Amino acid sequence: MAHIHLEDGSFTIFWAVAWWLIAILAIGICLYWLRRFKKIDNRLITLAGLCTAASFALFQINIPIAGGVHMNLTPLIGILTGPAIGSLIVLIVNIFSAAIGHGGWGLIGANTLVNITEVTCAYFLFMWLGKLRLDTFSRAGIATLLGLFAGNVAMIAIILISGVQGVNQSTWDIFTGLSIIAGINMIVAVIEAVITGYVVAYIQRVRPDILGEAKNAG
């Protein structure tokens, strides 16, 4: 859900490349882990395909809340497929999004890292909350809220570290402006948390084996 809505050229070439390289490194680690340690179940591939399609379809829709916001179901992706496959999904969704003109090509690396943060945090929070034996809806809802919050923190951190070309604002001013965006995003996070909570609770009721897949997905 957190997404750096800036055009190509907003970051210097150094930082655009740096975020790309870090994202490639993260994806490389995921691929290595999947090949080396995880035997991928065919059903997980199908689930990944469905998650990619759903995330892409929803992410491009401008939702008329507070002037316009987006959802991309990253926490749901993390909970259902795990952080390794989830990271691949968000990379693909970001590439497709750039292909239709939603986000710059140079920012795919940075946006992928933001989304990987959401996927990973949501997954591990969901698993950790399972140890507290909370109900599935609450676990998924809390994991979504905190995962999306972490994504917004990552988004702010990436922009503050990179800086934006052609602006004279102080770092504090940029931080304040981005914090307001993060605040608006929290409203959407609530909606996304309710949706994710119901979807995961429903899956837990009718197909608990699907959530079992995520447990082993890492």
Partner 1 sequence: MPDKVKNSRGLIIFVAIVLVFIAAGLAAYLISGDKGIEERFSQAVGLGGGPEEGEPGGFFGFNIEGNLLTYVIILFLLAIVCIILLKVFKI
Interface residues with partner 1 (CB under 8 A) are: 4-6, 10, 42-43, 45-47, 49-50, 52-53, 56-57, 60-64, 66-70, 96-97, 99-102, 129, 132-135, 137-139, 141-142, 145-146, 149, 159, 164, 166-169, 173-174, 177-187, 189-190, 193, 197, 210
CA pair distance 60, 71, nearest whole angstrom: 8
Nearer to partner 1, 38 or 102 (CB): 102
Closest distance of CB 122 from partner 1, Å = 13
Closest distance of CB 177 from partner 1, Å = 3
Please, what's the b/e burial string for 123-154 (b: 16 or more CB within 10 A of its CB; e: otherwise)? bebbbebeeeeeebbebbbbbbbbbbbbbbeb
Question: Helix, strand, or coil here: 69?
Answer: strand
Nearer to partner 1, 134 or 153 (CB): 134
Closest distance of CB 44 from partner 1, Å = 9
CA pair distance 118, 149, nearest whole angstrom: 8
Nearer to partner 1, 10 or 115 (CB): 10
Nearer to partner 1, 6 or 26 (CB): 6
Compute CA distances 16 → 11, 91, 148, whole Å: 6, 15, 23
Nearer to partner 1, 24 or 61 (CB): 61
CA pair distance 99, 94, nearest whole angstrom: 9
Compute CA distances 210 → 46, 82, 94, 133, 136, whole Å: 11, 11, 25, 19, 13
Nearer to partner 1, 26 or 114 (CB): 114
The answer to whether residues 182 and 158 touch, using CB atoms and an 8 Å cutoff, is no
Tokens of 40: 């991928």
Closest distance of CB 208 from partner 1, Å = 13
Closest distance of CB 30 from partner 1, Å = 20
Closest distance of CB 39 from partner 1, Å = 14
